[in-house]
Structure 1
Amino acid sequence: MMDFHCHLDLYPGARDVYKEASRRNVFTWLVTTSPKAFSATSRVLGASPTVLITPGLHPEIAHERASELALLLEQISTSRAVGEVGLDGSPRFKQHYTIQRRIFSAVVKRCAELGGRTLSIHSRQAVRDVLAELAQNPGYGTAVLHWFSGTMADLMAADAQGCWFSIGPAMFESANGRSLVQKMPRDRVVPESDGPFAKIDGKSVMPWSADDTARRLSVLWGLPPEDTEETLTFNGKQLLRLIGIVENRT
């Protein structure tokens, strides 16, 4: 199994969850929420051949951690991928949107300067601005829009720009989520958990939830679960190559 967006370090009993994810999954992308969190997580959890830990600065806390931007840009230079980064235009965080945009712009520009990175991107109520920033820096690399929640027009625009999408079981809990997932390009969809934040029936989605995602997705695609799982696995391998991870990891 694979998980392309997970906050492994923020689960209760994170060390045990990390070990279990390393055992069960052939790949887990551990996205961090701030540069200092990336440093601490890398130190505390240590290296694993099946877990990729990446630096990020979550837009929900951008105004609190803006002083860490220089550290983030430095960390990006030695990382294969970046996440979680992006923009959040929802009412709760809109007041800090200018700061978010300054940080995200600097991150995308830095990725372009370095020859491209793969980014796990938060885009809640901000899809058009995210896409505009990416378009202004054509050498930025590969965008993976995690838990996409825009409009159908936003989805078409993101598809046209070649974006990837990471989806998890919790996305299927809403009618809008199911509608969006159904229309996503089938060759650019990969599984995620977004745990421990994503929940189903009050319980956090775990990093080894890819089979659940495949089962739910198969209903929308009208395919057997095993065929859907095969597609997600193939897509995951393709994305790993874009990240720059060697084939034997999969």
Structure 2
Amino acid sequence: MSRKRGELPPLPEALPTPVVDAHTHLDACGAKTAGDVKGYLDRANLAGVDRVITVGDDLASARWAAEAATWDPRVFAAVAVHPTRTTGFGDADKAELAELARQPRVVAVGETGLDYYWDYSSKEDQHEAFRWHIRLSKDVDKPLMIHDREAHDDVLEILDREGAPSTVVFHCFSGDLDFARRCVDRGFVLSFAGPVTFKNSHDLREAARWTPDEHLLVETDAPFLTPHPFRGQPNEPYCVNYTLRDLATLRDTEVDLLASTVTQNAERVFNLRN
């Protein structure tokens, strides 16, 4: 592979039904070339993860994601400028992103939204960029992939005011049960990542236990947020296997049944096709 890494979590037993990693960052994991991408996907396949959506968080990353999705039929892309990178987000950036978003292997506009944890971009810049991404999602008729960190109320307020696209996915959902209900009431989809496996994430786990089947996705957000018990180690798409298994236990359902559910949801939400 293209970078040195710490010790990876062990490769788990393959899931009985293949699943989609609904949000990952293959470039941040270390992939650069088509060969690198194939290596990550081959390893994911051994764990029963057969497709991924690799997500751009700035223009360079968005370009790479859109191109990488043409290298391997198991890879799709989402493109946007991350809210923490919205300072100076101008017309030329918007024109290029709009062109990328229309490519057939790009299946979502994201990740976009609001991040009040970091102060790299002002709230004003974030709000303006978020509104623009909402309009782009509706223009290209592709799902909007939300990044929401410590900004729940403002994210919903802007979506309500602008008019949400037909499909909205809260990537790495971080809210409690009340917020999950508010999102689901609006028809939004909740995608759960490694933090839902953390045993001290009581509010998040309650939300995940409650979320209706048809509103549920699973993701890694790799290389970040490695699931329990490997927190702090490198993350890769194959590790969504661990999150899916933990969710099945949490929701008191069979692994195979939950895998089938989230796969059907991902195919529907992102209109996945090879």
Aligned-pair distance for 1:27? 1.6
Whether the aligned pair in 2 keeps the contact of 1:57 and 1:85 (CA below 8 Å) is yes
Separation in 2 of the partners of 1:235 and 1:244?
A: 9
Corresponding residue for residue 4 of structure 2: none
- Percent identity over the alignment is 23
Aligned-pair distance for 1:208? 1.7
Corresponding residue for residue 152 of structure 1: 177
When you count helix as a share of all residues, which structure comes out higher?
1
Corresponding residue for residue 108 of structure 2: 81
Separation in 1 of the partners of 2:195 and 2:32?
A: 21
For 2:187, give the aligned amino acid: G
Equivalence map 1:112-151=2 (5 Å)? 112-114=138-140, 116-138=141-163, 140-151=165-176
Unpaired runs of at least 5, structure 1 = none
Separation in 1 of the partners of 2:195 and 2:120?
A: 24
Higher relative CO (CA 8 A, sep ≥ 6), structure 1 or 2?
Answer: 2
For normalisation by structure 1, the TM-score amounts to 0.85
Corresponding residue for residue 4 of structure 1: 22
Equivalence map 1:1-250=2 (5 Å)? 1-15=19-33, 18-23=37-42, 24=45, 25-43=49-67, 46-63=70-87, 66-67=89-90, 68-78=93-103, 79-90=106-117, 92-93=118-119, 96-114=122-140, 116-138=141-163, 140-173=165-198, 174-199=201-226, 200-239=230-269, 243-246=270-273, 249=274
Aligned-pair distance for 1:14? 4.9
Change (3 A) 1:13 1:3: same
Aligned-pair distance for 1:41? 4.3
Q: Secondary structure at the match of 2:135?
A: helix
Whether the aligned pair in 2 keeps the contact of 1:149 and 1:180 (CA below 8 Å) is no
Unpaired runs of at least 5, structure 2 = 1-18
For 2:207, give the aligned amino acid: L
Aligned-pair distance for 1:95? 6.0
Q: How many residues align?
A: 241
Change (3 A) 1:36 1:162: same
Q: Which stretches of structure 1, 4 residues or longer, exceed 6 Å deviation after superposition?
A: none
Q: What CA deviation, in whole Å up to 9, does each residue of 1:125-146 have, x standing for no partner? A: 1222222332334462311101
Aligned-pair distance for 1:171? 2.4
Aligned-pair distance for 1:206? 1.5
Separation in 1 of the partners of 2:38 and 2:235?
A: 16
Separation in 2 of the partners of 1:87 and 1:228?
A: 30
Aligned-pair distance for 1:66? 1.5
Q: Secondary structure at the match of 1:132?
A: helix
Aligned-pair distance for 1:17? 5.2
Whether the aligned pair in 1 keeps the contact of 2:23 and 2:52 (CA below 8 Å) is yes
Aligned-pair distance for 1:76? 2.5
Aligned-pair distance for 1:183? 2.0
For 1:22, give the aligned amino acid: L
Separation in 2 of the partners of 1:32 and 1:95?
A: 17
Separation in 1 of the partners of 2:120 and 2:64?
A: 29
Change (3 A) 1:105 1:59: same
For 2:37, give the aligned amino acid: Y
Q: What CA deviation, in whole Å up to 9, does each residue of 1:56-86 have, x standing for no partner? A: 11112222x5232342233324443212111
